[in-house]
Each structure stands twice: as C-alpha cells, then as structure tokens.
Amino acid sequence: MKTMLEVDNLWFKYEDRYILKGISLKLFEGENLIILGGSGGGKSTILRVLLGLEEVDKGKIIIMGEDVTHLREDEWFGVRKKIGMVFQDGALFDFLSVRGNVGYRLYEQRLPQDEIEKIVREKLRIVGLEDVIDYMPSELSGGMKRRVAIARALVGDPPIMFYDEPTTGLDPITAKIIVRHINSLRDKFGVASIVVTHELNYAYMLADRIMMLKDGTFIFEGKSEDLVKCADPYIKEFVK
C-alpha cells in the first residue's frame, strides 16, 4: 500500500505549552483515517501543521515522498496543491457566489472563463450541487455550504483531503449525506482522507482506521470494532 503522508515523532508548541507531544501517523492511499478526540486535544492543530501553517519543533513530516518539515513558505505552495482542505464550518467567502467560491483559485490563476466554468461545474456535480452555482452562501443551508466547501477543495484533483469536523453542527440526515460524499470520494477516486472529529457515530461510518487523540498524544490506533473493546478508561468513557 502506498503511503501518502507520514508523520514521525512530531512535537509542536504554542509559546511554552506543547500541544502535540511526539505524534506519529501514516496515511495510506485510498483510506479514510479518522482522528477522534475531545475538544482541545489538538486535532485542528495537526491539520494546520500538516498544511505548513505552523512551524514544528521536532519530528518529521513527509508528504507523498517529500520531506516537507522545514520548507519555506513559498515552497509550501506546491505541496498544498496535493491536499484539499475542508475547514470547520466550510469557511466560504460570503461576498462570492458558489461559482466564485469553488473557482476561487482558478480565477486567481487567470484560467479562461469557459475552462473555469467546466471545472467548477464538474466539482459541484460530484457533491450534487450544480443547480446552486449562482447562489450566494447566505442562500444555502449548512449542509450545502459544507458540500460547496468540499467541491472547492476538490479543485486541482488533490489525492489527499483533510476535513476538520465535517459533520459538526449538522442534523443527522445532512451529516450522513456528508459522510456519503467523503466515502464516495475514496471509493470512486481513491482519495486518501484525514477526517478530524469528536463525533463517534460518524467516525464509525467513515473509518477505515481510527486514531484517538488525547492531550496531544495518540492513545489508540486500530479498527472501529477494536476501539469499543479498549480498556483505557478515557476511551471507555468516550465510546459509552
């Protein structure tokens, strides 16, 4: 199995406080890896670090065979193209239409209009939202905003996707639609994803593998069915 991303003994701190304390992980081709844990455990921080948005203290990050641990800001651009990021709550630009949001980077690159239109429609079609291409974010439901954010992250066909709490704040039916989209990107296109969440039931629906984070360290790695059998008191409480 091809390794898409590898983290080895990574330490990260804000000022004097360590947030990530020697974490290691591997993401394989075509899998959904779930990072599960309570709030404040460092889940969002892991994604920020893996996108080169924070400087690490110690350890190593390898993305698709390239050691990116100490890249300069301008060198990160190429690496980030390999990763589609879906931020918590979608983070769409309110002042841009759905077309403008999804095509944002393509407009920046000054691609011809008809090419942009083609790509934007293709990505919206994947999440079943081609119909709302002319809408403004304020006209969309919470679930639709998340799907637009997924479409936007798919521009450039990244082989890796990161999702930060993709189901949080959504009703169960809408959340399951998001889960289906994430799973189908794996099944249809072989996308490898890291999904960060504190919601156990959606973690189970998504996971090929689960890693449980607590206070900046992983305390479990394995299959969903093994998580429930775990003797660790924190995990027992979490899965109850």
Ligand X SMILES: Nc1ncnc2c1ncn2[C@@H]1O[C@H](COP(=O)(O)OP(=O)(O)O)[C@@H](O)[C@H]1O
List residues binding ligand X (CB under 6 A): 14, 19, 37, 39-45
CB of 3 to Mg ion, least distance (A): 25
Q: What is the DSSP string of 175-210?
A: HHHHHHHHHHHHHHH--EEEEEES-HHHHHHH-SEE
The amino acid that residue 70 corresponds to is H
Coil, helix or strand for 97? coil
Q: Determine how many CB atoms are found less than 10 A away from the CB of residue 57.
A: 11
Measured from the CB of residue 18, what is the shortest distance to ligand X in angstroms?
A: 10
Binding residues with Mg ion: total (CB under 5 A)? 2
19 binds, among ligand X, Mg ion, none (CB under 5 to 8 A by kind): ligand X
Using alpha carbons, select from 198, 118, 181, 192 the residue that is nearest to residue 144. 181
Does 183 interact with Mg ion (rule: CB under 5 A)? no
Read off the DSSP letter of residue 24. Answer: E
Q: Which option in ligand X, Mg ion, none does residue 97 bind, with CB closer than 5 to 8 A by kind?
A: none
Residue ranges in 40-59 that form contacts with Mg ion under rule CB under 5 A: 43-44
Dihedral over Cα of 40, 208, 149, 52: its sign: positive
Question: Which residue's CB is nearer to ligand X, number 31 or number 164?
Answer: 164
Q: Least separation, in Å, of the C-beta of 176 and Mg ion? A: 21
Q: Does 217 bind Mg ion (CB under 5 A)?
A: no
Torsion angle, CA of 209/199/157/117, rounded to 10 degrees? 160
Both tokens of 180, joined, read 């289906």
Nearest distance from C-beta of residue 128 to Mg ion, angstroms? 27
Of residues 43 and 146, the one with the C-beta less far from Mg ion: 43
Of residues 43 and 147, the one with the C-beta less far from Mg ion: 43
Which structure tokens are listed for 153?
Answer: 């992250």
Q: Which stretch binds Mg ion (CB under 5 A): 4-12, 26-34, 35-43, 208-216?
A: 35-43
Q: Nearer to ligand X by C-beta: 151 or 235?
A: 235
Report d(CA 230, CA 240) in Å as an integer: 11
**Shortest distance, CB of residue 217 to ligand X, whole angstroms?**
12
User: Among 190, 211, 183, which residue's Cα sits nearest to residue 42?
Assistant: 211
Q: Which is nearer to ligand X, 113 or 201 (CB)?
A: 201
**Shortest Cβ distance from residue 166 to ligand X (Å)?**
13
Return the amino acid letter for 226: D
Contact yes or no for 47/194 (Cβ under 8 A)? yes
Contact partner at residue 40 from ligand X, Mg ion, none, CB < 5 to 8 Å by partner kind = ligand X
Interacting partner of 143 out of ligand X, Mg ion, none (Cβ under 5 to 8 A depending on kind): none
**By the criterion CB under 5 A, which residues form the site for Mg ion?**
43-44
